[in-house]
Amino acid sequence: MERLINIDNGGTLTDICVWDGKEFTYTKTLTTPYDLSKCLFDGITKASEGVFGAPSLESLLHSTKHIRYSTTQGTNALVERKGPRIGLITDDPAVVEELRATEREASLFAELIGPRVAVIDPHADEEALSFDLVQAVNQLTTDGAARIVVAVGDVGAEEERRLRSILLRKFPRHLLGSVPILYSWDLAADRVRSRRIWSGVINAFLHPTMERFLYNAEDRLRAHRVRNPLLIYRNDGASSRVAKSVALKTYSSGPRGGLEGTRALAQAYGLKHVLMVDVGGTTTDVGSVKDSRIEVDHRGSIKGVPISFPMSSVHSAGVGGSSIIGLHEGNITVGPESVGVAPGPACFGFGGKHATITDVNLLLGVLDPTTYLDGKLVLDPERSRAVITSTFAEPLGVSLGEALVRMEAAYFTTMAGAFAGAIEHPESSTIAAFGGAGPMSACGAARLAGVRSVLVPKLAAVFSAFGISFSDLGQSYEGGLPEPTSESAKALHDALLNRAERDMFQEGYELATCTLEWAVAVEQTDGTLVSETPYTYGDIPAVDVGQHGSLRLRVTAQLPHPSLADNEVMTPRPAVACGTRKVRSSASMVDEIPVYSLEDQEGGATAQGPAIVEGSFFTTRVLDGWKLDVTAGGDLLLTDIH
């Protein structure tokens, strides 16, 4: 039996999902930021216990065809600015102003590049150009550049190839090897200079972080005699081996997994518009699936700056299960700062001094302190009580119960604000709430946004890892059309095809067994997309004056995909409670409400809130006025009937 392992590495928790072709086995483990390979192998070992009944890392690894891995480490590195200083060699002194004009966060240019910019004339004679390049590299490295991006020319790569030839002669690899140089046209065939430069700069910044960990993880897998290479899940929805992955494309790859899973749910349940609301420890990721299509930006953006590659349209807000709930001038604030995995929420008992929604829900009674992370981490309510009393109840002059209700309301409001702008028609929209913290607050936030339907998947706690199950192995290519002629199109077609054949062979697949999708994209000179149409070999793309075209190729080698249960109509039956729990509903009232185990319910089970539904590694709070229904597939559908 050949299994597939999907891993979604987050800032607080790492999720592992194993599929054997029929069943899913999944688990979670604490992320170990000091050594990411530790939580990777710890998680796989924990998953092996679920598969075999006892821990057996070797058995699981040797019965697995592929390990697909998604990580937030690149995202976190950019947020925290933990990466190398970048130097930039360009041919236009106005490039600094151009780059700053395209970013929303002025600090990004200042902190990644700063003053490390050199301007050269790529058309100078050989002697003058050689001298200028040597001076530029020496000055940039003296100023602290650990990596250099070369970006010249607005039409093609010829000028950069000339610079590469000179730099290789003047700085042989054994001398310049410690200062890698990235040539922008090698990374992206994009004639919009600002996008191409930003792509090169961010990729150069992210690469060391990804490289160190991923190659170390590959080495550890080889030590276990794993034959197939580690696959990296990318933000375009495909996977590829480490050596064939671009660091930039790992950014925000986890949310793309969630979107793939959301699309699968939308198709299974026939939902027109499903809004992904993935609430993790630090952030809430929001994406949209309309008519079973994932919304994708033709050219994506990262931290407000444009890049040359397509990206799924995902918005991230700084509100999660570990977001700090603070008090400023009498007002309760939520995030964007997070306590992370260390020290974590106060109730974790690791020394946390800040309150989070996890602490609030523990004291409200929503969370059972003995079942958190399926009982692997026992929560300490006394630590939560001490922190919230000293930092909220006493400063506000209110009771602990009043403080908890206000804090929860502030969290609902902040969470609703993260996704309200993406809702066009609340009456026809459904929120897919997942992540460890999503189901706890989904009803309260949805009601504020006017949405009356919430879908909580049975795999909510590991849903992004589950969503990776719908990805294939693939590569994407793009080349600019220098002339609107059949000859240039054919030449570019053949060049892209040769690259694809070589890359897919190295991935372990013959190109003849893969699916090839060709398209011609036409853009205005400012980069605005005019059209993207299928391309057939020999067609002459129509590109008007003032526009430019590019030929695109997407190659896919299909991997096995799971199938979801159809949304068949089930005979309604009362849900069977496994107990009750005292949950605070107001500052002065605590109600004893039923608790349902999701795994113990049959399809068609129904009940009305208030209630608590316990899933594996997650808890759903069903508020008063909401109805819960368990679907044929075992998912939880919540409807506001208030």
Asked if residue 122 and residue 62 are part of one domain, the reply reads no
The string of pLDDT tens digits covering residues 75-96 is: 777 877 888 999 999 999 998 8
Model confidence at 177, in pLDDT bands (50, 70, 90)? low
Distances (CA, A) of 546 to 305, 484, 526: 24, 12, 9
The overall average pLDDT reported for the chain is 90
**In DSSP terms, which residues pair with 613 in a beta bridge?**
596, 620
Q: Is residue 326 part of a domain?
A: no
The average pLDDT across 113-119 equals 95
Asked if residue 585 and residue 518 are part of one domain, the reply reads no
The average pLDDT across 491-495 equals 90
Model confidence at 175, in pLDDT bands (50, 70, 90)? low
Q: Is residue 336 part of a domain?
A: no
The string of pLDDT tens digits covering residues 556-568 is: 999 989 887 666 7
d(CA 624, CA 640): 9
Residue at a domain's end among 180, 201, 222 = 201
Asked if residue 96 and residue 167 are part of one domain, the reply reads yes
The average pLDDT across 583-594 equals 94
Q: Is the separation of the CB atoms in 231 and 217 below 8 Å? A: no
The string of pLDDT tens digits covering residues 398-413 is: 999 999 999 999 999 9
CATH code, domain with 117: 3.40.50
And the tokens for 128?
Answer: 């003058």
Q: Is residue 517 part of a domain?
A: yes
Asked if residue 104 and residue 21 are part of one domain, the reply reads no
- pLDDT of 111 > 70? The answer is yes
Q: Is 487 helix (H, G, I), strand (E, B) or coil?
A: helix
Q: Which of 116, 118, 110 is nearest to 86 (CA)?
A: 116
Q: Is residue 252 part of a domain?
A: no
Number of domains in the chain: 4
Q: Which of 399, 104, 428, 453 is nearest to 277 (CA)?
A: 453
Q: Which ranges in 113-225 belong to alpha helices (H)?
A: 126-142, 158-170, 173-176, 184-187, 193-223
Residue 380 zone, left/alpha/beta (φ > 0; ψ -120 to 50; rest): beta
Contacts with 572 (C-beta within 8 Å, 6 or more apart), sequence order: 604, 606, 629
Predicted pLDDT of residue 269: 92
The average pLDDT across 97-106 equals 81
| Rounded percentage of the chain residues whose pLDDT exceeds 90 | 63
Residue at a domain's end among 500, 532, 557 = 557
Asked if residue 93 and residue 63 are part of one domain, the reply reads no
d(CA 375, CA 371): 4
Asked if residue 72 and residue 217 are part of one domain, the reply reads yes
Q: The tokens 């190109």 sit on which residue?
A: 511
Supply the pTM of this predicted model: 0.88
- pLDDT of 64 > 90? The answer is yes
Structural domain of residue 627, as residue ranges? 573-640
Out of 26-30, 375-379, 537-541, 553-557, the most confident range is 553-557
The string of pLDDT tens digits covering residues 522-563 is: 898 888 889 899 988 877 777 777 788 889 999 999 998 988
Asked if residue 63 and residue 151 are part of one domain, the reply reads no
| Rounded percentage of the chain residues whose pLDDT exceeds 70 | 97
And the tokens for 489?
Answer: 């199109």
At residue 11's C-alpha, the angle toward residues 10 and 15, to 5°, is: 30
Asked if residue 214 and residue 174 are part of one domain, the reply reads no
Asked if residue 214 and residue 73 are part of one domain, the reply reads yes
The average pLDDT across 174-202 equals 87
Asked if residue 615 and residue 544 are part of one domain, the reply reads no
Q: Is residue 166 part of a domain?
A: yes
Q: Which of 323, 535, 526 is nearest to 441 (CA)?
A: 323
Q: Is residue 268 part of a domain?
A: no
- pLDDT of 488 > 80? The answer is no
Contacts with 42 (C-beta within 8 Å, 6 or more apart), sequence order: 29, 32
For 391, which DSSP code? I
Model confidence at 227, in pLDDT bands (50, 70, 90)? confident
CATH code, domain with 24: 3.30.420.40
DSSP H or E stretch at residue 619? strand 618-622
Q: Is residue 439 part of a domain?
A: no
Residue at a domain's end among 557, 581, 601 = 557
- pLDDT of 104 > 80? The answer is no
Residues written for the chain: 642
Asked if residue 175 and residue 106 are part of one domain, the reply reads yes
Q: Is residue 404 part of a domain?
A: no
Asked if residue 96 and residue 38 are part of one domain, the reply reads no
